[in-house]
Amino acid sequence: MAKCDVCGKDESMPYNCRHCGGTYCGEHRLPENHDCTGLQNWNDPDGVFDSGFDDSVNGGGSKSKASSLTDKLPINTGAGGPLAYFRGNMTYTLLALMWITFLAQLITQAVAGPRVAQDLFVLSSWNVEYVWTWVTSTFAHGGFMHIVFNSIVIFFFGPLVERYVGSLKLAILFVVSGALAGLGQIGISMAQGDPSSVLGASGAALAILGVITILNPNLRVYLFFMIPMPLWILTAGFAILSLGFIGGGAAGAFNIAHAAHLIGLVIGLAYGEYIKRTQNVRAPSQLQLGGGGPGGPGGPGGPGGRRRF
């Protein structure tokens, strides 16, 4: 449940304005109904980021420092520019960051070598103190199909979660669940005597899946665009598979991060239950999902003990 920035009305399915970033009810969702800053500066490439507020002590009508910085960017940062698409669309921003990180991995590996790439992008048992890898490993991936499968799940389910919890909370859920899933995988693997490394967004993707499963367990999805099933069956399948491997002492069997899958899913289920108890949400009755492959979202793992999740 979110409040309209204009009238304060509680709205279970709020509208996020892509021009000013505000949250509004159905009555105030149109830019002209909430005095949108992007509306009055529609043809001004600097207008959306320029509030027009004079932050100088003595006045004088000078622009804010933030606005001056955006003026120097070599791209259109206004309402009609390419960045406007990502404003209020955190799901697609996260997907873009995943692909940018994947490209950075390839470039780093080609220029500086695989050792440097691993130190920057892979969370492992032997570099767990590299705290930046707790986050970068969530956005990094082990191959093209690996990132494609994860992107499909996030693309379909991410906007639903974002609609219910908002862009900021989705971003926090993604980063926190991804980091905890990776750390949990490393910890369980070490406890089972199998030190390893891990990377991928499946922990975060399954957290998103878990949220939707709680909100609407009977949501009909189409696995591989062909096989219809209720969402809870798909989720239960991931949970049973992961529990089986972890219980058998093989949290990283077939180079798949089963522990990371389960941890991400549990985080999502718990957060979904919290949302269900505190917000009045309505979920769609049908969704088409195409993804999977060996090991589900994230695919099979790579060589050298590295788990993809």
pTM: 0.64
Helix, strand and coil percent figures for the chain, each rounded to 5? 50, 10, 40
Instruction: Report CA 128 to chain centroid distance, whole Å.
Output: 22
Tokens matching residue 30: 């149109």
pLDDT per residue, tens digit, the chain (309 aa), is 677 777 878 777 777 776 666 777 877 777 777 777 655 544 444 443 333 333 334 444 444 444 454 555 566 555 555 655 556 689 999 999 999 999 999 999 999 999 999 999 999 888 889 999 999 999 999 889 889 989 988 998 898 888 888 889 999 999 999 999 989 888 887 887 777 788 889 899 999 999 999 988 888 777 666 777 788 888 887 778 767 666 555 544 445 677 788 899 999 999 999 988 887 665 555 454 433 333 333 332 332 345 455
Handedness of CA 238, 239, 241, 246 (dihedral sign): positive
What is the three-class DSSP state of 209? helix
For residue 76, give the amino acid letter: N
Tokens matching residue 275: 């949302």
- Domains of the chain, residue spans: 1-37, 88-279
- Phi, psi for 16 (deg, rounded to 5): -105, 115
| Domains 1-37 and 88-279 fall in the same CATH topology | no
Of 229, 165, 246, 170, which Cα lies nearest the Cα of 205? 170
For residue 47, the cross-strand partners are none
CB atoms within 10 A of CB 261: 32
Q: Would you mind telling me the total number of residues written for the chain in this entry? A: 309
Identify the CATH homologous superfamily for domain 1-37.
AN1-like Zinc finger (4.10.1110.10)
Identify the CATH homologous superfamily for domain 88-279.
Rhomboid-like (1.20.1540.10)
List all residues 6 or more positions away from 242 whose beta carbon is below 8 Å from its beta carbon. Answer: 258, 259, 261, 262, 265
**Strand positions, DSSP E, the chain:** 2-3, 10-11, 15-16, 23-24, 123-124, 197-199, 220-223, 227-230, 306-308
